[in-house]
Amino acid sequence: MHDGSYLNFRSAGTALVLDCTGGGLPRVVHWGADLGELGQDAMASLARAAVPQIASNNVDLAVPLSLLPEHSAGWQGTPGLTGHRAGADFSTAFAVTSLRAEGRSLAVVAEDVVAALELRLEIELTESGLVRQRARLTSLAEDGGALFTLGGLLLALPVPERATELLDMTGRHLRERTPQRHAFTIGTHLRDNRKGRTGTDAVTVHIAGEAGFGFRSGEVWGLHVGWSGNHRSLAERTHTGVSLLAGGELPLAGEIALGAGESYTSPWVFGSYGRAGLDELAGRFHGYLRARPHHPSSPRPVTLNVWEAVYFNHDLPRLKELADAAAEIGAERFVLDDGWFRGRRDDHAGLGDWYVDETVWPDGLHPLVGYVRGLGLEFGLWVEPEMVNVNSDLARAHPEWIMATGDRLPPESRHQQVLDLGHPEAYAYILERLDSLVGEYELTYLKWDHNRDLVEAGHSPTGRAGVHAQTLAVYRLMDELRKRHPNLEIESCSSGGGRVDLGILERTDRVWTSDCIDALERQLIQRWTGVLLPPELMGSHVGAPEAHTTGRTHGLEFRAGTALFGHFGIEWDLTSASPEDRAALAEWIALHKRLRPLLHTGRVVREDHPDPALWVHGVVAEDGGHAVFALAQVATSVQSPPGRVRLPGLEPDATYRLAPLAPADRPRGPAMDALAWWGEGVTLPGRVLSEVGVRAPIQNPERLVLLEARRVGS
């Protein structure tokens, strides 16, 4: 038990100081840089020093900002809890009944007797310095009493006044996680997502920071909602000088109504801090994910996915030829994409009929599966279990399993509707079909797609909103499937990168970062996805020379060098590639296999290079002994030759041998002979490479070179 005073959680250079005095919900006194050991007197003084004076025309007391901000305490910003019982009990006043601190975590139980509600809060500071918190709300009303209709439950973390800029992300299909920056002004910057999935335009991480913060400079604080359904994220600054980040699930009207003894548990809300920029903030997310017991630990298999090679045109000899080509260049996994099940000759029909199409596969998938495995490749399969085409046997047999308001179908998207997994029979059908497929073919991998937003997502026949139940059912379905098949890995694909969050990643092993494999677009998409996810969780493939989604043409070194910094794969009709291209791609695959122990465990670093046409990023081993960097020319520079590039993250006092890395060691541009150090490399201290740097090569736009640094003596 805790005595109701102060707590100082510390880890990895971060501190979370909590004020648990007074009987109200805990308040955050400090979230940021580690302050060292603090006694109770020091923390009490710190808390007193933060209490503002009473300003005119405000309430006559200092208004505390608790983890769940309450209107009853005088808080007039966005409330932490909204809801009511038939219009009453709209404002809560929770009193703490129990506090339990253990290690770097605190469990709080509080009750509002009048509103007949119990609140259980959990907050902890993880080993990597990441804050995570969630809440459980229970109705204590007597049987027969009014239901408590939940409007929302948002958990908050304060940020200091010096955080004057906001950065969040937006996007669309084929252009996910596009950053946007603006001033953190008085008012609320609200990002609501009502798409029924995380969304291609999701905020991802809501970041507040010092003016001009970058990847390697400026204090930053970020918040992420670990939920795969509707959610809310906000940054708020009041005229009374309080600034905060908050987030949680965003229930639809009437979606969550608690009867006697019923509970609602919020998603985890994560907070990350960086004293020196976004790389540190991102590193805490990466460290948290990598510390999970179920985080992928085996080498991530080089994956060939056949979608852009064959689309719906499944043909056994053709697919065998692709498998031969994949095995020849060193691929390790073969994934059969959309088009293998009944009636699926295009995207207008078949979803829901999860049986192998006998007209295309008279012997089932066994001939292909056996052939692929005979080549030494794993076999994976594409599915989209949450969706259904109206033109399917399933929809004709069970129209009541389609999510709808009760008297009409929602507008179609990609010619499909949403299957109501909150319906027990629909859930049981999908579980049986997936379980049977995984078992029959001994699948080790599912590419799990989700190709539309949820519109008017209601349970039939009542028409009540059902996104919350749908999200939990998807989690339950994945959890049960993996329980039955412990060796199964699942990829989260959702129109590409439309479901990228820490909720879905509790039960999946990577995300398909985007349906766009254009390397130039992927440079941006992967750069900003990396604020949340480490490279090994980002599916990153080498596409065809001409990108299918944009029509751009790139050389192999730019395409493969972009894919190198992720879970590497191929999305290209290798049978159409020249022998020279196949041989070159085999070199890249060999390089990735050599580097993946570094790429998938090391610290991701990005340089704030002053020239926006040149992006510098890399991965540095945790012990500082080995690093690889990419210099990606993403546009035409206004200056030529370019200046120096700094290589961040190296040990300052270590000496490194830096050299260009084949096969991306020959920039394509004019006057390459003039770069004196390029041919033989250079040996310099890490401090010099990080603070001064080396002269960058002249490159044509949309080109990339690699540099490898090894500590001398390693």
367 cis-preceded (ω within 30 degrees of 0): no
Tell me the angle at which helices 579-599 and 556-563 cross, rounded to the nearest 10 degrees. Answer: 30
Residue 651: partners with Cβ closer than 8 Å, 6 or more residues away = 624, 686, 711
Total Cβ atoms within 10 A of residue 356? 18
Q: For 506, list phi and psi in degrees, rounded to 5.
A: -70, -20
| CA pair distance 693, 656, nearest whole angstrom | 12
424 cis-preceded (ω within 30 degrees of 0): no
Neighbour order of strands in the sheet with 187-193: 155-158, 243-249, 231-237, 187-193
Neighbour order of strands in the sheet with 6-11: 6-11, 14-19, 27-33
Q: Counting beta carbons within 10 angstroms of the beta carbon of residue 277, is it exposed (0 to 12), middle (13 to 18) or buried (19 or more)?
A: buried
Q: Radius of gyration of the chain from Cα atoms?
A: 27
Residue 42: partners with Cβ closer than 8 Å, 6 or more residues away = none
| CA pair distance 260, 255, nearest whole angstrom | 16
**Residues 708/661, Cβ–Cβ less than 8 Å:** yes
Looking at 279, 449, 453, 509, which residue is catalytic?
449
52 cis-preceded (ω within 30 degrees of 0): no
Sign of the four-CA dihedral 503, 505, 506, 507: positive
Active site residue 515: yes
**Residues 25/96, Cβ–Cβ less than 8 Å:** yes
**Residues 406/459, Cβ–Cβ less than 8 Å:** no
Q: Which of 131, 87, 82, 93 is nearest to 115 (CA)?
A: 93
CA dihedral 681, 631, 282, 197 (to 10 degrees): -150
Looking at 337, 338, 515, 518, which residue is catalytic?
515
Which residues are catalytic, by number? 449, 515
